[in-house]
Amino acid sequence: MAASLSQYRTLLYQLTRREFKARYSSARLGIAWAVLNPLLMMVILSVVFSVFVRIDTGGTPYPLFVLNGLCLWQFFRSTVAATTSCIVDDRDLFRRVAFPRSLVPLSIVLSNLLNLLLTFPFLFFLMAVYERPLHLTVLLVPLNLVVLALLATGVGLITSATTVFYRDMRYMIEPLLLVLFYGSPILYPLSAVPAALRPIYGLNPLVGILRFQYEALLGGRLESLCLWAVSCSGAAVALVCGAWLYRRYAGLFVDML
């Protein structure tokens, strides 16, 4: 079925809206949770890692450091976790209507992206509290977010298609995400990673993105562009793989539901 761009756009908009509404409409605090969630995490982690265990962040106040990484991580984690089971969870929809399958994971990415953007005002507020200057490099943050979103899209496409054929993926994804969480410079700075390990450590595409974010927002100088290039390549590879999986197998999803 040939579908026009405006059909896609309408459907993507509607699905994103549904996704976003579904998340907050039943909660009394509603959309405030989008900000409250990373905030609470930040408070807990700040207490743990600046009172109980001290982590040296090279002069950056720990709450600011951890919130910066946490925002991006929360976006990635919730996007991948939600997309992984999105087809299986929404099986009724998939079984009843023929529509471009990839729009469901895409709507999850967009809705989470909106969520992420909502946390930025607070991030800037916290920077003001700690009297951190804004550098020109902040203008590159949106570009970094695009790379992150593309990476999450690619990974989400792969895991969602895989889950249809291997339900085990649903259970595997949480521990995998945990490994990724500790394998990324979120709780600790990149400088804490032993130099010998860096080449392997840098293969995690999140590393470059998190580092870029730190340098663009809090450092003011982009020093780890090599790592970021790895992230961009990682995003591209994930996206191509995910798109290929959908192209080849999306027509058979329904048979497995």
Partner 1 sequence: MTRPVDIEVRSLHKSYRLRKRRSVIAGDLLRLLTLRRLEYKSNEALSDLSFDVYRGECFGIIGPNGSGKSTLLRILSGVTKPSSGTVRFGGSVGALLELGAGFHSEMSGRENIYLGASLHGLTHRQIRAAEEEIVAFSELGDFIDEPIFTYSSGMLVRLGFSIAIAIKPDILVLDEVLAVGDESFRHKSFKAIKEVRESGKTVVLVSHDANQVAAFCDRAMLLSRGKSILLADASTAIRFYLQTTEGAGSTHYLECGALSVAVKQGRTLLFYQGRPITKGYGIYSSMLSASGWMDVLDGTWQTERLDNKSLRSTKAIDYLSMSLTWTVRVLSETEVAVELTAHLEKPLGVDRYHASILLDPAYTKWSTQDATGKFPAIEIASYEWVHVNSKPLHSAWIEGSADQASALPEVRFSVTADSGEFAPTVLNTDYQLGSRVLQLLRRNTDPTGTWPPGTRTLFEGRVRIRLP
- Return residues touching partner 1 (CB under 8 A): 1, 3-4, 6-7, 9-11, 13-15, 17-18, 21-22, 25-26, 92-99, 166, 168-169, 172, 251-255
Query: Of 4 and 54, which has the nearer Cβ to partner 1?
Result: 4
Query: Of 25 and 125, which has the nearer Cβ to partner 1?
Result: 25
Query: Of 15 and 216, which has the nearer Cβ to partner 1?
Result: 15
Distance (Å, rounded) from C-alpha 217 to C-alpha 147? 16
**Interior angle at CA 141, CA 138 and CA 145, nearest 5:** 170
Closest separation in Å from C-beta 145 to partner 1: 26
Query: Of 13 and 124, which has the nearer Cβ to partner 1?
Result: 13
Residue 99 near residue 61, CB atoms below 8 Å? no
Closest separation in Å from C-beta 36 to partner 1: 20
Closest separation in Å from C-beta 3 to partner 1: 6
Between helices 62-84 and 205-214, what is the axis angle to 10°?
140
Query: Of 120 and 249, which has the nearer Cβ to partner 1?
Result: 249
Q: CB-based burial of residue 136 (10 Å sphere; 0-12 exposed, 13-18 middle, 19+ buried)?
A: exposed
Closest separation in Å from C-beta 100 to partner 1: 10
Closest separation in Å from C-beta 250 to partner 1: 9
Distance (Å, rounded) from C-alpha 250 to C-alpha 99? 10
Neighbouring CB atoms inside 10 A of 103's CB total 17
